[in-house]
Structure 1
Amino acid sequence: MYIRTNVMALNILNNLYAHNNQISKSMERLSTGYRINRAADDAAGLAISENMRYQINGLNQASRNIQDGISLIQTAEGAMQEIHAMIQRMGVLANQSANGTYSDADRVKLQLEFAQLKEEINHIAGKTNFNGIKLLNGDLTLPGQGLIIQAGSGADDHIIFDMPNILDAVAGIAGLDISTAVGAGAAMGALEGAVDDVSTGRAKLGAYQNRLEHRYNSVVNMSINLSSAESRIRDADMAEEMMLLVKSQMLAQVSVAMLAQANMMPRNILKLLEAL
């Protein structure tokens, strides 16, 4: 005589499979730190998480772009600061040469320093660069290309700055000569205009830097919040997974013990029937 189907054992075996499956999932999640390790774990959650990751990666790169932009502007502003200082010195020399207490020989000596300052101003205005990109020679001045900063994760999240053309602004001082009192007087007026042009350019750069610093703070804040939201979707709750692992391991152990008991039941029933 045979009892062909042990329903109780089958039920226990199914439960054991379920517990072992949960143990495998919990161990994988605990080892990777992710609740979603493949699309089958949560198809919709995976799609949302990947879209968020794309935005987060874009925002993180945008924050680096903005920092590079700030460094570029600081480089340009530092060069313009030196130009300002040299123009100021040239103004002093021109004022000195225009004074009637100086002889022509004195003015020639003043002109020597004046000429060197002119040359250096033109050099700085034409050669100042950041990563090989010239900053003050008009290449980044609108309506031309301008300075483009990609400051977000979207294609249209960029800022275009009109960089000052300092090479053009100081072009008027190229022909100045203070070796005569008349020339010194003319130089004073031209230098005053150059100071004003450079001051305007520096003010623009200061405004650009302030804007970029505010944009940087905004981008970092968006990245942090998106990362937090993405983490809630994709990352595993370590405490919950540990609890599920321990629970499933205990249930699996009990199921193994109960399966052994269930497998004994048909034999016991047969023995009972044979004894009748």
Structure 2
Amino acid sequence: MLLGRDIEGTINDEPADGDGLILTGEYNNEKTSGLSVAFLGDGTGNAGSVTVAQNSLKFQAGASADEKIVIALNSTHSTVLGRGVDNTSGFENLSQISLKSTQEAIDAIRLVDEALDQLLSMRSQLGSVQKHTLETNISVLRNTVENLTAAESSIRDTDMALEMVNFTKNQIITEAAAAAVAQSNQTATRVLRLLFNNNPHGHWSFFRDH
């Protein structure tokens, strides 16, 4: 590239006007109309690529931060809709239509039909994303929530079962201790009763071992 000369080139294989180092897509371009890029290289040929997402929408599609869906919508401006329709009135887009004559009205209908087809195509694309991506992810997320809820319930049930086991164990120990005390009391009473029956006169003798 020579100094003092405007840059020359195309953007996405569409014609562009150069102004210094700035290359701008021509007005009638289908995809790059008004798009400006700056060339900072020092050679010729293919300088790189440019990706433009106009009116893009981002949706969080999963649990991870990087699980996102980006939907790029084409422009629906009247200067963009209705392009590429052959007509004798010279209309280039929907914003230029006129109904001053019969021929202009006929050509205007053609551009309106093309604009409707473009809008229907966008609607179809959005419907496809909604059905095959968004609704699918919603279904997956719902199943994930149900599984997590079931897992939490299972954990809570497990804790409750453990508490019931501990409660039952403590209850058995308490009842066994009470039964042992009652049994020992009954044994002492029986021994005294047996001694009393063997000595009805009430004379008791106690001997100390030497």
Could you say which structure has the higher strand fraction?
2
Could you say which structure has the higher helix fraction?
1
Query: RCO greater where, 1 or 2, for CA within 8 Å and sep 6 or more?
Result: 1
